Amino acid sequence: MKKELAKTYDPKSIEERLYNSWLEKKYFRATVNKDKTPYTIMMPPPNITGQLHLGHCMYTIQDIMIRFKRMQGFEALWLPGTDHASISTEVRIVNAMAKEGLTKADLGRDEFLRRAWAWKDEYGGRIVSQLKKLGASCDWDRERFTMDEGLSDAVLEVFVRLYEKGWIYRGEKLINWCPHCKTTISDAEVDHEDKNGAFWHFKYPIDGTDEFLTFATTRPETMLGDTAIAVNPDDERYKKFIGKTVTVPIVKREIPIIADSYVDIEFGTGVVKITPAHDPNDFEIGIRHNLPIINIMDDDGSMNENAATYKGLDRYEARKKIIAEFKDLGLFVKEEPITHSVGIHERCNIVIEPLIKLQWFVKMEDMAKPAIDVINQGKLRIYPERFTKNYMGWLENIRDWCISRQLWWGHRIPAYYCEDCGEITVSKTAPDKCAKCKSTTLRQDEDTLDTWFSSALWPFSTLGWPNDNEDLSYFYPTDTLVTGYDIIFFWVVRMVFSGMEQMGDIPFKDVLINGLIRDEQGRKLSKSLGNGADPLEVIDKYGADALRFCLITGNAPGNDIRFNWTKVESSRNFINKVWNATRFIMMNMTDEEIENTPDNLTATDKWILTKMNEIVKEVTANIEAYELGIAVQKIYDFTWDEFCDWYIEMVKPRLYNKEDKTRDAALYTLKAVLINILKLLHPYIPFVTEEIFLTVQNKEETIMLSRWPRYDDGLRFEAETNEIELVKDAVKAIRNIRGEMNVPPAKKVKIFVVSSDEKIAQSFKRAESYVKTLAGSSEVFIQSDTAGIDDGAVSIVIPGGTIYLPFDELVDVEKEILRLSAEVKKYENEIERAEKKLANEGFVKKAPQALIDEEKGKIEKYKEMLRGAKEQVERLGTHH
């Protein structure tokens, strides 16, 4: 029984069904196949805490590339997975526990982790199932999780290797501390926000004198940790004080006045208080001058025992109290309002504190270099290219990476401390005794690793590394990484240096950077704003295909995209157009298949086949260059404008006349072009194209997924193409005149095509049937003179001839003359323009020949039309 398409396009009835059948048939499976070339994309793993939001819908780009390559015959692997997202997940679990009145300490590590895994089991699959709704053609059999067994093994392996190489070390350094999350965070996780604050000026009494040194600070509480006062060695004002001491009043600490060129004479008072434990610059100065480092803060941001009477106070409480106390002491000078940049933890928006802590770091210097080199050597390319600057800038200024986190959800650091001798043993498996003193009382480091430590290994850990295997050697290096510009630093850079270090090769050849999706007002999507449409709602209303289509259309790589509903709707309308075009074709189709190209193709058929062939070529090139938006625009225009609005309309008379000898040729062409359109569209809108394809082919099983159309040298019919374009122009001109003259659409008119050129006469002869329907004509007369044409007929000049439209109503001859005179003027201008151009020596000498020929051709064409138009003016004039 012949299949049929439903009357209206309804995505809901097809998308889920098709996706399930794809899964069943394992279309997305990719395995080692030596006969094929692999094409691999590793999906940026979404957080298990996440829900599908519009941002994830940019995964469509990956799906388009994968489907395109799969159709081209590559062994296309799109490997999906999720990220444990240590801090983000842990915060959620802690919050959920808080509702039960529980804390991490109450539960203990094991119980906490049990809960965390339960959480993962419950929510970790959510985002994955939502991606399926979007149509993602991943090889789900290969789905990985950053904390699954294999990936955890990779993490330990890398940690141990780097430790043994001396590139992972433990050290006491200034780190970014989040007092809310009570963990360190990396530099990349600190956002800088300009905040309104105050610049408080205080003075310290100089010991042994009655003089003071006035300085300013934005964080008065750090005075508790001051261990020096610094001035510039060349500052005449303060030279005399260098070497003396001041006393920090509130803690009665005597500290030296030191000279350091870091201090800017011009800025503030030229005097800087030095707090090595709580400021990066001060820390450096502290090291240079061998200053004591006094940590005054506890992990929650409150003052600790070094803060004397302020112990236990929150940092901001302490600040207030200290200011008040300085006022009492008469050592407060003034308060200036100031906006300054403050470090904020991007997750919780709490002001971070620089603190000294004993942490694990990755030494970056040696690893950064190869990651820079691969760009310079052109082995790794970033699209659009401008993002390479971001990438390089970050790597060139990189600092050691703090990788230890005071969290439980994550990969626990494989370092074991001997309780007896303090020796550190780093090992993938827990050692039973200390390597140095043989003690068996060993304690594993409590901390876990930065979540990006594991995702940095994603391109190879997901393929089974560190175990050598076929998958790894076949699919690695991967081909394209597609991700947003917001995680170049976090992730892209780290994958590159990890790949270079562990695999000795780049993790991917191309990085395609996509923009961020914004809401309808152009704002960034954010959880707190709750803005942005819910993709599931969009899919529910318009279908995944429409959503995919709308996100890709009219977007250039790397540019942000503003979501808007009307765009989704017009995408859906386009899909509906394809749907209905198919219905029309099927309505007319006969049961027997036309296997081979018929030999009675008409000019019209050859014209559309030529156009289609061109589109195939261009679209393929565009997609290969990651120009997805340009490509889809071309398919859109070709489908709607050329195919539906012109070709189908042109072909209708042939279809309606069962006796027409070229009916089969029309049907063949309709189907051939339709199928190619479906294929070109398939990567973008996989569901509906598949549904249509199966219906048209009357099949249950697709072959569409496996074959991308190829450019065919045999499908270039230049003469026919020119012929049809000429007729199209004529039809357009007739419609135009009809509109201008307010001729009702239902009104059929006679058309006289007058030309002494036999070729043109033949062209219109061949086109007669559809010119009638397209131009609303009762009869088309093709003749070499104006015999029988009413004097009052409206005329249209075409290259090589004139078309007359005798309307029943009397034409206003004055107006007609005016109209035709305007045409005359137009042609004269065109000719003048082209002649000027050709008279330009420089142009003739340097412009490409094709362009010169084109201009010459124009002159000929317009001269002809000019002559015709003049004749018409004359004719009307004498008639008048």
Of positions 394, 460, 476, 668, contacts RNA by CB under 7 A? 394
Q: Is 390 in the site for RNA (CB under 7 A)?
A: yes
Shorter beta-carbon distance to RNA: residue 155 or 834: 834
Among positions 96-125, residues that touch RNA (CB under 7 A) are none
CA dist., res. 89 & res. 120, Å (int): 9
User: Is residue 797 within 8 Å of 872, Cβ to Cβ?
Assistant: yes
Q: What is the DSSP string of 165-189?
A: TT-EEEEEEEEEEETTTTEEE-GGG
Of positions 121, 141, 264, 809, contacts RNA by CB under 7 A? 264
CA dist., res. 260 & res. 272, Å (int): 10
Shortest CA distance to 636 belongs to which of 566, 578, 710, 555?
578
Among positions 55-84, residues that touch RNA (CB under 7 A) are none
Stretch that binds RNA, among 173-181, 237-245, 272-280, 681-689 (CB under 7 A): 272-280
CA dist., res. 445 & res. 306, Å (int): 26
Among positions 582-601, residues that touch RNA (CB under 7 A) are 583-584, 587
**Kind and range of the H or E element at 383?**
strand 381-383
* Closest distance of CB 193 from RNA, Å: 9
CA dist., res. 581 & res. 648, Å (int): 8
Sequence length of the chain is: 880
Among positions 395-414, residues that touch RNA (CB under 7 A) are 397
Written in H, E and C, the secondary structure of 490-502 is HHHHHHHHHHHHH
Strand-pairing partners, residue 795, are 804
CA dist., res. 525 & res. 507, Å (int): 30
Q: Could you tell me the strand order of the sheet in which 212-217 lies?
A: 212-217, 190-205, 332-345
Joined tokens for residue 293: 């480092």
Q: Is 826 in the site for RNA (CB under 7 A)?
A: no
Q: Is 241 in the site for RNA (CB under 7 A)?
A: no
Of positions 13, 267, 292, 529, contacts RNA by CB under 7 A? 267
CA dist., res. 459 & res. 481, Å (int): 9
HSE-up of 714 (CA within 13 Å, CB side)?
2
HSE-up of 256 (CA within 13 Å, CB side)?
11
Residue 434: Cβ-neighbour burial (10 angstroms; 0-12, 13-18, 19+): buried
Joined tokens for residue 616: 């195939």
Stretch that binds RNA, among 105-113, 162-170, 388-396, 680-688 (CB under 7 A): 388-396
* Closest distance of CB 547 from RNA, Å: 14
* Closest distance of CB 453 from RNA, Å: 18
Q: Is 629 in the site for RNA (CB under 7 A)?
A: yes
User: Is residue 359 within 8 Å of 184, Cβ to Cβ?
Assistant: yes
* Strands (DSSP E) found in 756-833: 777-783, 794-798, 801-805
Q: Is 825 in the site for RNA (CB under 7 A)?
A: no
Q: Residue 224: CB partners within 8 Å, gap ≥ 6?
A: 248, 250, 251, 294, 296, 303, 306, 307, 308, 310, 318, 322
* Closest distance of CB 842 from RNA, Å: 2
Shorter beta-carbon distance to RNA: residue 80 or 354: 354
Among positions 704-733, residues that touch RNA (CB under 7 A) are 732
Q: How far is CA 72 from CA 18, 392, 528, 620, 704, in A?
A: 21, 34, 43, 10, 11
Query: Pattern 138-177, binding to RNA, x per CB under 7 A?
Result: ----------------------------------------
Shortest CA distance to 183 belongs to which of 350, 304, 427?
350
Among positions 172-231, residues that touch RNA (CB under 7 A) are 187-188, 191-192, 215-219
Shorter beta-carbon distance to RNA: residue 357 or 572: 572
Of positions 81, 270, 286, 464, contacts RNA by CB under 7 A? 270
CA dist., res. 679 & res. 690, Å (int): 9
Among positions 342-361, residues that touch RNA (CB under 7 A) are none
* Closest distance of CB 627 from RNA, Å: 7
Stretch that binds RNA, among 102-110, 265-273, 320-328, 602-610 (CB under 7 A): 265-273
Shorter beta-carbon distance to RNA: residue 448 or 480: 480
Among positions 325-344, residues that touch RNA (CB under 7 A) are 340-341
Q: Is 249 in the site for RNA (CB under 7 A)?
A: no
Q: Is 744 in the site for RNA (CB under 7 A)?
A: yes
Question: Residue 588 has what DSSP assignment?
Answer: H
Q: How far is CA 789 from CA 36, 751, 753, 814, 868, in A?
A: 67, 10, 10, 19, 16
Among positions 840-859, residues that touch RNA (CB under 7 A) are 840, 842-843, 846-848, 851, 858
Query: Pattern 12-51, binding to RNA, x per CB under 7 A?
Result: ----------------------------------------
Of positions 21, 281, 697, 783, contacts RNA by CB under 7 A? 281
Q: Is 745 in the site for RNA (CB under 7 A)?
A: yes
* Closest distance of CB 77 from RNA, Å: 28
Q: Is 444 in the site for RNA (CB under 7 A)?
A: no
Q: Residue 230: CB partners within 8 Å, gap ≥ 6?
A: 257, 258, 259, 260, 262, 263, 271, 272, 273, 274, 285
Q: Is 514 in the site for RNA (CB under 7 A)?
A: no
Q: Is 245 in the site for RNA (CB under 7 A)?
A: no
User: Coil, strand, or helix at residue 171?
Assistant: strand
* Rg of the chain on CA atoms, in Å: 38
Q: How far is CA 639 from CA 579, 645, 661, 674, 692, in A?
A: 11, 9, 26, 9, 15
Q: Is 781 in the site for RNA (CB under 7 A)?
A: no
CA dist., res. 771 & res. 778, Å (int): 10
Stretch that binds RNA, among 25-33, 632-640, 684-692, 781-789 (CB under 7 A): 632-640
Size of the site for RNA (CB under 7 A): 89
* Closest distance of CB 854 from RNA, Å: 7
Among positions 635-664, residues that touch RNA (CB under 7 A) are 636-637, 640, 644-645, 648-649, 652
Q: Is 263 in the site for RNA (CB under 7 A)?
A: yes
Q: Is 430 in the site for RNA (CB under 7 A)?
A: no
Measured in degrees and rounded to the nearest 5, phi and psi for residue 34 equal -65, -20
* Closest distance of CB 770 from RNA, Å: 12
Q: Is 531 in the site for RNA (CB under 7 A)?
A: no
* Closest distance of CB 267 from RNA, Å: 3
Among positions 543-582, residues that touch RNA (CB under 7 A) are 554-556, 559-560, 562, 564, 566-567, 570, 572-573, 575-577, 580-581
Question: Residue 685 has what DSSP assignment?
Answer: S
Query: Pattern 367-386, binding to RNA, x per CB under 7 A?
Result: -------------------x
User: Is residue 507 within 8 Å of 481, Cβ to Cβ?
Assistant: yes
Joined tokens for residue 368: 């950064």
Of positions 111, 122, 740, 860, contacts RNA by CB under 7 A? 740
Shorter beta-carbon distance to RNA: residue 166 or 744: 744
* Closest distance of CB 557 from RNA, Å: 8
Q: Is 633 in the site for RNA (CB under 7 A)?
A: yes
* Closest distance of CB 417 from RNA, Å: 31
